[in-house]
Amino acid sequence: MPKQATPAAGALDQNKLNQFIGQMLSDLGGASSIALVRMGEAFGLYKALHAKGPMTSAELAKVAKVNERYLREWLSQQAASNYLAYHAKTRKFSLPPEQAMVFAIEDSPVYMMGGFDVMAALLDNQPKVQTAFKKGGGVAWGDQAGCMFCAVAKFFRPGYHNHLVAEWLPALDGVVEKLKSGAKVADVGCGHGWSTVLMAKAFPRSHFIGYDFHPSSIEEAASHAKSPKNASFEVGLAKGYPGKDFDLVTCFDCLHDMGDPAGAASHIRQSLKRDGTWMIVEPMAGDRLEQNLNPVGRLYYAGSTMVCLPTSLSQEVGVGLGAQAGEAKLREVITAGGFRSVRRAAETPFNMILEARP
């Protein structure tokens, strides 16, 4: 190995170096917390602290039925991470209300436990993606490591729970009226089907069919859908599912994962009624790389490298749009499928919601 040169004296800005080391400490601290946060969830530690208030390690160990010595170390790391508060006088630990929104309250708009599962799945994916990175080609969605599908579904569910029925559907032209009176809807690339189930519960007169090409996701979705009778699920390709005459087709965070998104757009257009609507929910992104060099773009580019790109490149055509494609690229794909109008109907810091009409 060649000897690594240290920059010459004067070439190094010590303040910048110190700042960057500070960032690295924080980054590594976050990465080191992935396993601990997931164990906290597995043992119900956040929920116990949220429900019962401040506790010592001995008290919490009793409630959660875990080993006190391990728990004490875990609690100390969590307090050092600012995930829990430590009260030195009483030696108790508590979950502040703001942290509870992230770690304990599943329906909160900022519940992020799914994000930690996604991070673990990205690491599990490394050997397969690393091989593809060298040789080209993709890694099929169904071959991805761990339970990528469960992690992704859990990560997105809070956003759908808080925005889909309350904000995103009403932002579409005339769609809520149709859904109220009875419409036919396809949720394409539905994964575990949380979006399908949420819409089905909100609009009992409409019928919802979730399609996804991954059979085990469809099985899982069908188990979530036991309560709403107006939702069903079928294995189907985005550019080949069988239904017709839909009033609304939805695609949640999946268009960029497809190998042939323009082919999917064309099939979706043909499956819609003439006055139908296609709602496309995609990760928030600017059109130029420099617009995405921020914390949200950082996470999405990571997910894109480890999950979205390999998924797209494993399919026929293999366009590889990437999770940060941006609105201009998405418009190209949508209009290539024969849609005449596309507009941004709504947005959150994490998502853009596009409405396409035939």
β-partners of residue 207 are 184
Q: Does 114 bind ligand SAM (CB under 6 A)?
A: no
Of 21-29, 56-64, 109-117, 249-257, the segment contacting ligand SAM by CB under 6 A is 249-257
The single residue among 114, 191, 276, 320 that binds ligand SAM, judged by CB under 6 A, is 191
Say which DSSP state 350 is in: S
- 196 contacts ligand SAM (rule: CB under 6 A): no
If one asks whether residue 117 binds ligand SAM (CB under 6 A), the answer comes out as: no
The dihedrals phi and psi of 185, each to the nearest 5 degrees, come to -130, 135
Q: State the pairing for strand pair 272-283/246-252.
A: parallel
What is the dihedral angle through the alpha carbons of 273, 200, 151, 49, rounded to the nearest 10 degrees?
150
Query: Contact region for ligand SAM (CB under 6 A) — 26-34, 59-67, 75-83, 207-215?
Result: 207-215
Total of residues contacting ligand SAM (CB under 6 A): 21
Q: Is 214 in the site for ligand SAM (CB under 6 A)?
A: yes
Residue 282 touching ligand SAM (CB under 6 A): no
168 contributes a contact to ligand SAM by CB under 6 A: no
Residue from 84, 231, 237, 342 in contact with ligand SAM (CB under 6 A) = 237
Residue 243 burial by Cβ neighbours in a 10 Å radius (0-12, 13-18, 19+): middle
Minimum Å distance from CB 274 to ligand SAM? 24
Q: Residue 247: which H helix or E strand, with range? A: strand 246-252
The answer to whether residues 352 and 312 touch, using CB atoms and an 8 Å cutoff, is no
**What are the beta bridge partners of residue 208?**
185, 231
List the alpha helices (DSSP H) in 225-294. Answer: 261-271
Tell me if 254 contacts ligand SAM by CB under 6 A: yes
- Look up tokens 């991954």; give the residue: 214
Give the CB-nearest residue to ligand SAM. 191
Q: Which residues bind ligand SAM (CB under 6 A)?
A: 141, 152-153, 156, 189-191, 195, 212-214, 217, 237-238, 252-254, 257-258, 311, 315
